[in-house]
Amino acid sequence: MQLVRNMAQLVVSLGILVAADKLVEQAFAAASIKFPSALFAMFCVFALLLLLPPSLANGFMAFFDPATVFIHRWLPLFFVPSLVVLPLAVRDVSPASALKILFITFGGWFASLVVAGYTALSVRRIVKTQLIPAEPMKRPSPFGPLEFWAWAAVFVASFAVAYVSPTALGTTATTCLPFLLASTVFGYILGSRLPSGVKKVLHPIICCALSADLAAVAYGYLSRSGVDAVLGDYLTESPSNPGAGDILMGFLGSVIISFAFSMFNQRKLVRRHAAEIFTSIAVASTFSLYSTAILGRVVELEPILTISILPRCITVALALRVVSLFEGVNTSVTAAVVVLTGLIGANFAQAVMDKLRLKDPIARGIGTASSAHGLGTAAVSAKEPEALPFCAIAYALTGVVASLFCSLPAIRHSLVFIAGDASASQTQHFSY
């Protein structure tokens, strides 16, 4: 009975977050407002929690706790769709441009880490605020053998049904949806269960994307429909005919709204260390955006690709909404660069900070999350529990601050101009 109640609470709480995201998104679209709708919803939830009496706020948090735990447990899945269809998106990107993007990604990550870490350290030395214990943070439960084999069975069964009876479910996107979704989930669970040494090379996100791509290749070959057609059905961006990727990306707005709960849970920490947190994040976010635009101009990367990778240090959930404020961007390249930045940070952030003598937990937490968002945060959580709360705060706020900046027409104009597309900066319409 308790299990049934828990499942019902999860479904209802998660359903409310998803429904709220869609309603606000539709309202913003109807009003032609360019500001990210999910970010507005997040601010509303956070403000509501602050205004409610403590008992009601705690009850509100408890009710949505299953939804936030679910989101954190499956978070990488919602980032993957753009990576899965990356083979279709990068065909127009030349090898020279790809090398330039890699240079900007690696160099930009290191520079952002240095700027964020030393800014936090400098402000910390000025304010001299004593570090206080953070609120405990729940960690999602690991995936067990039952989940692994259950999703493996679902994948095999759904693949067989799609192959034997491809027209039974109607459209090709609907036919491919079950097995592509199952292959994505199975790949993530498989990647999560790999030894830690293997994960440094084959991160669960990479394993997840490869699993879906291999499933698409297999079905495209056996059905003779071709891998391009199958991948095209993975992310259709059509509300009336969604693919597996559209289902997963439909949770991105809920991910952003869930930031309100984590920030509220750490409100005492934010209030006490506001100077270090907000100064560092504002400086790091501004530096990341403008340094990317400048580097793109210096190495003569195509302006539209430079604009596509501007939010390289922001979590995918907000990065895709930031680049949607610009015209003609390649969102798959955006997602790929964001994930690559996170993987770099997850593997090298701690070693680099040790070399730079960044020992302060606030500087380490903010530096890691401001340069490598959620993947860097996940890496720190396993080894540096004292830095984790600051990672979690910076992880959310970096995306929030960068989104706020890019919602200002003047900043968008300047970024486009620096990237090298002066004509686009004059012709874009930035309506609210």
What pLDDT is attached to residue 66? 92
Do residues 306 and 292 touch, judged by C-beta distance below 8 A? Answer: yes
Calculate the CA dihedral of residues 306, 37, 60, 382 and round it to 10 degrees: -10
Question: 60-64: which pairs have CB atoms within 8 A and are 24 or more residues apart?
Answer: 61/261, 61/264, 61/265, 63/9, 63/13, 64/13, 64/16, 64/17, 64/261
Q: How far apart are CA 401 and CA 415, in angstroms?
A: 16
Q: How far apart are CA 160 and CA 168, in angstroms?
A: 12
Coil, strand, or helix at residue 224?
Answer: coil
Q: What is the pTM of this model?
A: 0.82
What pLDDT is attached to residue 428? 44
The three-state DSSP-derived secondary structure of 82-101 is HHHCHHHHHHHCCHHHHHHH
Angle at CA of residue 250, ends 206 and 71, nearest 5°: 65
- Is 53 exposed, middle or buried (CB count within 10 Å of its CB: 0-12, 13-18, 19+)? exposed
One-character DSSP codes across 156-204: HHHHHHHHH-TTTTSSHHHHHHHHHHHHHHHHHHHHHTS-HHHHTTS-H
What pLDDT is attached to residue 134? 62
One-character DSSP codes across 119-136: HHHHHHHHH-PPP-PPPP
Q: At what angle do helices 252-265 and 388-406 cross, to 10 degrees?
A: 130
Q: How far apart are CA 208 and CA 399, in angstroms?
A: 24
Taking the CB of residue 163, how many other CB atoms lie within 10 A of it? 14
The domain limits of the chain are: 80-135+266-427, 145-234
One-character DSSP codes across 294-322: HHHHHTT--HHHHHHTTTTTS-HHHHHHH
Question: How far apart, in Å, are the Cα atoms of 9 and each of 6, 67, 68, 69, 140?
Answer: 5, 8, 12, 12, 17
> How confident is the prediction along the chain (432 residues), in pLDDT tens digits per residue?
788 888 999 999 999 999 999 999 999 989 888 778 888 898 899 999 999 999 999 999 999 999 998 988 888 788 788 888 888 877 778 889 999 999 999 999 999 999 999 999 899 889 887 776 666 666 778 888 999 999 999 999 999 998 888 765 556 678 889 999 999 999 999 998 988 778 777 888 889 999 999 999 999 999 888 898 898 889 887 888 888 999 998 898 898 898 888 888 888 888 888 888 899 999 999 999 999 999 999 999 999 999 999 999 888 778 888 888 888 888 888 888 988 888 888 888 888 998 988 888 888 888 988 888 877 777 766 677 777 778 878 888 888 888 889 888 999 999 999 998 644 443 444 333
Amino acid at 140: P
Q: How far apart are CA 197 and CA 339, in angstroms?
A: 19
Taking the CB of residue 83, how many other CB atoms lie within 10 A of it? 24
- Is 247 exposed, middle or buried (CB count within 10 Å of its CB: 0-12, 13-18, 19+)? middle
Q: Give the chain's radius of gyration (CA, Å).
A: 21
Structure tokens at 215: 């499933």
Angle at CA of residue 431, ends 414 and 239, nearest 5°: 110
What pLDDT is attached to residue 393? 83
Question: How far apart, in Å, are the Cα atoms of 409 and each of 312, 325, 392?
Answer: 20, 10, 29
What pLDDT is attached to residue 241? 84
Do residues 262 and 135 touch, judged by C-beta distance below 8 A? Answer: no
Q: How far apart are CA 357 and CA 145, in angstroms?
A: 41
Taking the CB of residue 269, how many other CB atoms lie within 10 A of it? 21
Which residues are within 8 A (CB) of 196 and not within 5 positions of it... i.e. 6 or more apart?
Answer: none
